[in-house]
Structure 1
Amino acid sequence: MHPNLPERLFPTARSEAATANKPTSVPQTEHPAYALAFQDNDFLLKDEMRPVRLQLELAKADLALAEAGIKSMFVFYGSARIPAPEDAQALVDNAKTDRERAIAESLKAKSVYYEEARRLARMVSGEGAMQRYFTVCSGGGPSIMEAANRGAADVGAPSVGLNIVLPFEQVPNPYVTPGLSFQFHYFALRKMHFLMRAKAVAVFPGGFGTFDEMFELLTLIQTGKVAAMPIVLFGREFWNKIINFEALADEGTINHADLELFHMVDSAEEAWAIVREHYSI
């Protein structure tokens, strides 16, 4: 543009907002109706404005990720309850009943997955030029999510955290890159952001949330809504015990070919090899 030509015709929304925040005090300006629509929380939080809030949740993280140059991600799903190896024994020691102790011992045994998630994140984040293709993304919380962001931090790489507002307090784990830490109200929009840039997905042992995310992804690929990508399920023993995938195929509720949509692995090396083979890198 020629230097003598103005870059903008209209003032920015930011400058207009600053002016609007300093009105002359008269009855009309004191009434909430006078506030600019995009600064009026009472208006934005009305049930009727849900479509706008959905759009805002999609746009905010999308723009921030684009501005950060993040075009593709390696997504980590998994439990919020599996302890880090250094914290596992304390979980057992604090158990008060036999049942609590048995559960604590089970979670302690699964702490190996915390370490594998951390190792995998370290691998995919430390491959030089490939970092930008496999930016680590987790749900931003504790346990497996923390391990993923921690692995990226180990090698000085950025990582994304997609937190969700829950009835109980959820604080982002300390390893998420602050400028890439987002909070969502709508699960649907959070799920979209997990997959919009996903190029590979690692699924670790988890509960309802992990199963929800995993089966939705498998369904999207099965129905052609999402392109096929490497999906690695960590822990053959866990998955074979919890879900009988073969039985689903034998019952006819899925095709036997659907069992090829994912791979079961036990180590970070095995998972990374599958991803590299898929993309011939």
Structure 2
Amino acid sequence: MFKRQQPLTRNFPSAKESAEVQAHVVPEPRYDGPESAYKLAFTDNDFLLREELRPVRMQLELLKPELVQQELDIKATVVIFGSARILSEHAAKAAVAQAKAAGDPHALKRAEVALSMSRYYEEARRFARLVTEASTRRAEPLYVVTGGGPGIMEAGNRGAYEAGGKSIGLNIVLPHEQHPNPYITPELCFQFHYFGLRKMHFLMRSVALVCFPGGFGTLDELFETMTLIQTGKCRHRPILLFGREFWTRLINFELLIETGMISPGDEKLFHFVESAEEAWALLEREYEQTLALDPAETPQGKKQR
């Protein structure tokens, strides 16, 4: 006699169940060598890493962060970009002291420049804290997203962590391994192989891009976003550039207009800001309705409770 089961009992074992069974079965010696094909396809790393499986790996890299964020009900993000090399004020001051003690004028000059740039770390940290603190009182929470590494990325995750909120880190495998900073929410700490898919995830839920001084990687991410907005491939969203002096020395936007390389008005795709408070105030103006307080937190809502 068959044991009576519920009508909706699964007809077939799950892939997880099959993988667990396989893990506890010792195959015949003949089929246990490296040349054997006796493995489930989805547990066979050698198979999954074949050149021909690149499209499948790209799908997986798109799908994994998407499913996790859907499950955690993450719908809106603020992306913080910037250099991995910018130090916190504390670390930069320590480097200056060390260079002075060593009597190395070249090291001292580099350390002093790093100290002057450390203000951006502190602004990114404070901005992320402002976003996260405000989000706890809003109808649709905003989550800080960074590239998951050190420098400005660390500052963004750190600010959210200090505010008691969750934040996302989209790390990528580099020749010199990039370790995730210690402030990312563990269940939202992802790792990518493909730069393109990582950049896609930066933008899929973003309501704003906040860009601090940085190098090639930062410029790549900034210009890709501006290109997508300029060409209408994605909706408009605020792009905030921290530090007018840095960005106008780095990029001659006026020359691009004068030579017809961009159209007049394209320079309005972004705004310069100097402080965390100024950046957050601009976002609030841009999204006056979307970033509105939760109805229960408004004066009218409090009266009704």
TM range (shorter): over 0.9
1:185 is matched with which residue? 193
1:81 aligns with 2:108: no
Q: 2:253 aligns with which of 242, 245, 258?
A: 245
1:41 aligns with 2:49: no
Q: Output one character per residue of 1:36-74: Cα deviation in whole Å (capped at 9) or x when no partner.
A: 000000100111111111111111111111111111110
Quote how far apart the aligned CAs of 1:25 are: 2.8
1:61 is matched with which residue? 65
Quote how far apart the aligned CAs of 1:24 are: 5.3
- Runs of 4+ that moved beyond 6 A: none
Q: Output one character per residue of 1:2-53: Cα deviation in whole Å (capped at 9) or x when no partner.
A: x931242221110011122334532564253110000000100111111111
3-state SS of 1:70 partner: coil
1:111 aligns with 2:115: no
1:11 aligns with 2:13: yes
1:202 is matched with which residue? 210
2:267 is matched with which residue? 259
Query: Structure 1, unaligned stretches of length 5 or more?
Result: none
- CA RMSD of superposed structures (Å): 1.7
Q: Tell me if structure 2 keeps the 8 A contact 1:124–1:130.
A: no
Query: CA 1:236–1:17 in 2, change beyond 3 Å: closer, same or farther?
Result: same
How many angstroms apart in 2 are the aligned matches of 1:166 and 1:275?
33
1:141 is matched with which residue? 149
Amino acid at match of 1:80: A
How many angstroms apart in 2 are the aligned matches of 1:60 and 1:204?
28
3-state SS of 2:37 partner: helix
How many angstroms apart in 1 are the aligned matches of 2:151 and 2:86?
5
Amino acid at match of 2:74: I
How many angstroms apart in 1 are the aligned matches of 2:94 and 2:139?
35
1:273 is matched with which residue? 281
Amino acid at match of 2:12: F
Moved more, 26-35 or 37-46: 26-35
Moved more, 29-38 or 67-76: 29-38
Task: Give the number of equivalent residue pairs.
Answer: 279
Quote how far apart the aligned CAs of 1:104 are: 2.3
Q: How does the TM-score come out when normalised to structure 1?
A: 0.94
1:71 aligns with 2:75: yes
Larger Rg: 2
How many angstroms apart in 2 are the aligned matches of 1:102 and 1:255?
40
Amino acid at match of 1:52: V
Amino acid at match of 1:110: M
Q: Output one character per residue of 1:142-164: Cα deviation in whole Å (capped at 9) or x when no partner.
A: 11111101110111000000111
Query: CA 1:7–1:260 in 2, change beyond 3 Å: closer, same or farther?
Result: farther
Q: How does the TM-score come out when normalised to structure 2?
A: 0.87
Moved more, 130-139 or 62-71: 130-139
How many angstroms apart in 2 are the aligned matches of 1:262 and 1:250?
18
Q: Output one character per residue of 1:158-188: Cα deviation in whole Å (capped at 9) or x when no partner.
A: 0000111111132111110011101111111
